[in-house]
A and B are shown apart, each in its own frame.
Chain A
């Protein structure tokens, strides 16, 4: 009787050790201390708010950024907050395996006062765990309604991400490539030249599994040019087609693997090592979000050597790029000091400097990104498509069909299936079956 339990416990334990490198899709495995220099004070926008200095007490914040707790960045944000509210105190608790641990915390009620809302939580569950935030916080803010239910907003985004090709300019120079690719042909051409120069053209991180989301659910909506793609997919018994965004992305990924334009050993998880390879120019490109840029710089690259452009998925020259929110931050419904918790949340996302330090784009629509990479990206003038939360039915069908949205496991299979059509048909079969089983 005991042995299987032991196994289950071991399973859970091992999982919690592992998922740290698996599940944090949007902010990566941010273990790079030391990339937090300088820019903290630039976002400061203080003054004029003198009359509120009466908030006091102690609140606790749960966060996935264990690195920012360890290197004192959080403490720095708190000092700045205390200039405004001298009697306020904030304690920080970092969860290494945030994405799964926070669900247990919510279930048992040990959520602290301020926390990141787990991605994928159905909107209808929000009022159970979170306090509505005042509408005044959301002026000019991206994704204001992504964590809203019945007209009330429960979370505010902690950063705006986009996605594209992060590349090493030195490596491009060495291979004789004059400029970053803007069309699919140019991308293929660049890959060919890089390979000839003995450089790994694109580090796909196939073995780490989660980065594979870029070749599927992480990109399909903007390639399709449809922010609400998941709602359409939920109504479609065969959403994976060669001609649509899924097929386009998978074909490019398959071409890269077929031509040897990616790392050779596909199945070893080399995530930490790959950052160094991009930084040193042994590998040239990543197809990931802007959040990875500070990490590549932290791994030893000079900022001016790293560039960032939209992913050229076709030859039209007019590209779409996504805008996605990082974790949403909210105030726990159990909080005893909600006023202070709300003030801290507002300060944290708008004034602390966290957004810029993490390499995100500003959460205010009127602000321009400061980092040179994001400026380069915006100069390419892509059409930004604001991502919407996944349709609830879409999520249910995917779970039932055991298609791991956000995990990348099914994309691994798709990119290595014998031919593209067969791989897509396999997904359609599972999808259709789950859809009928659920009665949608």
Chain B
């Protein structure tokens, strides 16, 4: 070992440590991604290795058949839900960074839904939304609001709202924790100075809090957007995409596994990938513009 120069030793150690994560990353991230792109140019059915190169046919089909993009309409529900979720989480974050009694307990309570696995969450909400035995309808019955009882999953006008609510309920805690982190990094003397100058609570929020967490806020909004585009687990586990709840990813999965068209499904996944990358680029441009 001693004969090696310092530089060589350094290289050896660097490579030694890096090789494992890089190999894992290449095997489980980049190789599948490259295959995905390759499959998107073929007519692979998912069984065996027989496939024909079809060029851009799959992409042509995606962009010429409006049905494929109609599913994005359902993603919009999750985006709107996400906006409400960001607003709510900010509200809770502000309340729970103040000197409220039992604030740690509340933080844990609001964060817990995020820790639950989606499958568990959905099974739980099945019991909430069930028409006969569901706790929501039982509650409405008990407090005398029978007329408000709904078929939460059967009514085509309500079902996407019901589902988007689950997603909101689940992810709000995470947003809140991130906001709390950002809020705690604001120096308290700013608020003290504001109080001395006679600023009201709203003014402090508007002119001190918001500008200080602006970058986190815009990051949150973009994450909401990409999250909404990728909405999958909740509509799929709850409804299998039935009753007009199929999102873009649900449709991709159906295309692959129900209609045995892995080629087309890969192309759909690539299109989604491009859309998401597009938004990430925008996010970088917006977020880091000021820092330069």
A172 to B261, CA, bound (A): 45
Question: Is B261 in contact with A399, judged by CB distance below 8 angstroms?
Answer: yes
Contact of A14 among B118, B258, B260 (CB under 8 A): B118
Question: Is A209 in contact with B32, judged by CB distance below 8 angstroms?
Answer: no
Contact of B47 among A7, A125, A268, A409 (CB under 8 A): A125
A427 to B130, CA, bound (A): 30
Contact of B257 among A7, A100, A266, A402 (CB under 8 A): A100
Question: Is A11 in contact with B32, judged by CB distance below 8 angstroms?
Answer: no
- The 8 A CB mask of B203-241 against A (1 = contact, 0 = none) is 000000000000000000000001000101100110111
For residue B136, give the distance in angstroms from its CB to the closest CB of chain A.
12
For residue B292, give the distance in angstroms from its CB to the closest CB of chain A.
23
**Size band of the interface chain A makes with B:** 35 or more
Question: Is B255 in contact with A209, judged by CB distance below 8 angstroms?
Answer: no
Pick the most buried of A18, A118, A207, A268: most chain B CB atoms within 10 A of its CB: A268
Question: Is B48 in contact with A125, judged by CB distance below 8 angstroms?
Answer: yes
Q: Is A379 an interface residue (CB 8 A)?
A: no
Q: Is B259 an interface residue (CB 8 A)?
A: yes
B90 CB contacts on chain A under 8 angstroms:
none
For residue B29, give the distance in angstroms from its CB to the closest CB of chain A.
6
Contact of A264 among B32, B126, B131, B240 (CB under 8 A): B131
Q: Is B46 an interface residue (CB 8 A)?
A: yes
Stretch from B92-100, B151-159, B166-174 that touches the partner = B151-159
Q: Is A267 an interface residue (CB 8 A)?
A: yes
For residue B229, give the distance in angstroms from its CB to the closest CB of chain A.
9
A4 to B131, CA, bound (A): 35
Q: Is B243 an interface residue (CB 8 A)?
A: yes
Q: Is A404 an interface residue (CB 8 A)?
A: yes
A300 to B272, CA, bound (A): 48
A2 CB contacts on chain B under 8 angstroms:
29
Question: Is A402 in contact with B230, judged by CB distance below 8 angstroms?
Answer: no
For residue A89, give the distance in angstroms from its CB to the closest CB of chain B.
30
Give the residues from 7 to 34 in chain A that come closer than 8 angstroms, CB to CB, to chain B. 7-8, 10-11, 14-15, 17-19, 22
A265 CB contacts on chain B under 8 angstroms:
130-132, 151, 153-154
Question: Is B48 in contact with A106, judged by CB distance below 8 angstroms?
Answer: yes
Q: Is A3 an interface residue (CB 8 A)?
A: yes
Q: Is A103 an interface residue (CB 8 A)?
A: yes
- The 8 A CB mask of A113-140 against B (1 = contact, 0 = none) is 0000010110001001000000000000
- The 8 A CB mask of A389-415 against B (1 = contact, 0 = none) is 000000000111010100101001100
Contact of B48 among A15, A128, A267, A402 (CB under 8 A): A128
A404 to B261, CA, bound (A): 12
A207 to B273, CA, bound (A): 31
- The 8 A CB mask of B43-65 against A (1 = contact, 0 = none) is 00011110000000000000000
B249 CB contacts on chain A under 8 angstroms:
7, 11
A266 CB contacts on chain B under 8 angstroms:
151, 154
For residue A205, give the distance in angstroms from its CB to the closest CB of chain B.
12
Q: Is B242 an interface residue (CB 8 A)?
A: yes
Residue of B nearest to A433 (CB): B65
For residue B57, give the distance in angstroms from its CB to the closest CB of chain A.
10
Which 8 pairs between the two chains have the least Cβ-Cβ distance?
A: A265-B131, A267-B153, A399-B259, A404-B258, A4-B273, A103-B47, A7-B230, A209-B240
- A interface residue numbers (CB < 8 A to B): 1-5, 7-8, 10-11, 14-15, 17-19, 22, 100, 103, 106-107, 118, 120-121, 125, 128, 207, 209, 264-269, 398-400, 402, 404, 407, 409, 412-413, 416
Q: Given A4-B276, A267-B151, 16 more contacts at CB 8 Å? A: A1-B277, A2-B29, A11-B252, A15-B257, A17-B119, A103-B47, A107-B49, A125-B47, A128-B48, A209-B242, A265-B154, A267-B243, A268-B129, A268-B131, A399-B259, A402-B255
What are 6 A-B contacts defined by CB distance under 8 Å? A19-B257, A107-B47, A128-B48, A265-B130, A404-B258, A409-B242
